[in-house]
Amino acid sequence: MIKHRPRPSKASGSQLQFEKLLEAMGFGQSADPLDHFTRYGLTQKLEEIKRYFARYVSVSAQPDRKLVKRYRATLEKLLTLSEEIGPDFLANEIEKAGWARHNPDADEMTLNMLVEEHSDRRNMVTRLTSHGEDIDHWLNTSGDDYRKRVVRKLVVEPFLRLLMEHGITTSRKKLPRTRMFEAMFEWVGVESRFRLSNAAINKIARELTSASSSESNALQRTEN
């Protein structure tokens, strides 16, 4: 009888990815107590980065953009029909019909008063137009470039700052930054198409280093 090896659980897979990340950062398994202390501090901060990114992913679950574009096109057709029917008719008669549906015993005067006092002052065409503009704005600001900016702010920059805080200096042979970020993206769960290129990450690293040096120099001048 052949026994199949059980598949690794999601938790064990994540832990394996995390160990690969620590190894890429130069903190593999060690008997040195100081290394264990450092690993603990790194673990807390790395998990915080992962937690914030996971929170963003959980609240930004989005439908297929093609589906949203179809909805936008349908809305445009609805706007055209609304214009043909007439904004005033929709804002008055149809609104009144809505009040009559919920108040079947109300007379004409009462229905007119309800429309006047409680209905949205904007007509249906104006509301639909505004809704369409909101959709256009979302389509323009939620593409791959926007997602990459989020990855930069929530993953790349915090991780680079963490490396700087712990004095972890990258090098092409011993501690390549490319390997670190590959492991970081894999562990955090960043989709391949939203991962920043090595050139982009190197540029951000230079910017953060320059900004940190400027702040340090300014602080020294203040103290002197």
**Residues 53-83: tens digit of each pLDDT:** 998 887 666 778 899 999 999 999 999 998 8
Contact 162, 45 (CB under 8 A): yes
Average pLDDT, the chain: 84
Phi, then psi, of 167 in degrees rounded to 5: 65, 30
Query: What single-letter amino acid sits at 178?
Result: T
**Measuring CA to CA, which residue among 212, 154, 162 is closest to residue 26?**
162
What is the pLDDT confidence band of residue 105, given thresholds at 50, 70 and 90? very high
What is the pLDDT confidence band of residue 2, given thresholds at 50, 70 and 90? very low
For residue 85, pLDDT beyond 80: yes
Cα 29 from chain centre: 33
> 């998990």: which residue's tokens?
47
**Measuring CA to CA, which residue among 2, 39, 64, 14 is closest to residue 168?**
39
**What is the rounded radius of gyration, in angstroms, for the C-alpha atoms of the chain?**
28
- pTM for the structure as a whole: 0.62
What 3-state class would DSSP assign to 60? Answer: coil
What pLDDT shows up at residue 178?
Answer: 94
More confident residue, 50 or 57: 50
Locate 100 and state its tokens: 């009559």
Which of 19-33, 121-135, 174-188 comes out lowest in average pLDDT? 19-33
For residue 43, pLDDT beyond 70: yes
